[in-house]
Amino acid sequence: MLDPLMQQLVVGIGGGVMLVLQVTGLVALWLQRRRVRSLDGRVAHLSAAIALLTDTLEGGLHDVAREVSRLSTAPAVAAPAAPRGTAAQRRVRGAAKRGRSVREIAASEQMSEGEVRLMLQNPSRAVKEPTVHAEMR
């Protein structure tokens, strides 16, 4: 057997090695947790982007389906439609000034809502349905 001094030395070295291994393991665990937190943030951003993309796609497909159904119910025209001229632009602008909505103008002129917005020089949805405000008493 070993003498007591040698036993204490071996136990001390073994304890030191175990302490170094535990500290190394804790540092590795801490670094992994940081990476996982970073990854969680990236996954959250990705899922938010996918949700936004899905909503946009659903809205676009809904608009396309509505336009297709509107065009399929419109009476068939024998001759191709002539290009829209300045007279149509004047009618569209006049109707907009009278307070008609883009949808109403498009239906009366037999054109798409996007075309009406382009004629109004307003590609955004700023021209919308008229809003009804409550009266102040």
Q: Please state the domain count of the chain.
A: 2
pLDDT digits (tens, 9 = 90+) for 31-75: 999 888 888 888 999 999 999 999 999 999 999 999 898 888 866
> Is residue 74 domain-resident?
no
Pair (1, 46) in one structural domain: yes
* 134 pLDDT more than 60: no
pLDDT digits (tens, 9 = 90+) for 81-108: 555 577 888 888 899 899 998 888 888 8
Q: Are 12 and 18 in contact (CB under 8 A)?
A: no
> Is residue 137 domain-resident?
no
**Strand extents, DSSP E, the chain:** none
> Is residue 56 domain-resident?
no
Alpha helices in 74-112 (DSSP H): 86-97, 102-109
pLDDT for 46: 93
Q: For residues 116 and 11, what is the distance between their CA atoms, to the nearest angstrom?
A: 88
Q: What is the average per-residue pLDDT within 120-133?
A: 53
Pair (46, 1) in one structural domain: yes
* 24 pLDDT more than 90: yes
Dihedral angle computed from the Cα positions of residues 17, 20, 25 and 30, in that order, rounded to the nearest 10 degrees: 170
> Is residue 31 domain-resident?
yes
Domain that holds residue 45: 1-50
Q: For residues 107 and 87, what is the distance between their CA atoms, to the nearest angstrom?
A: 17
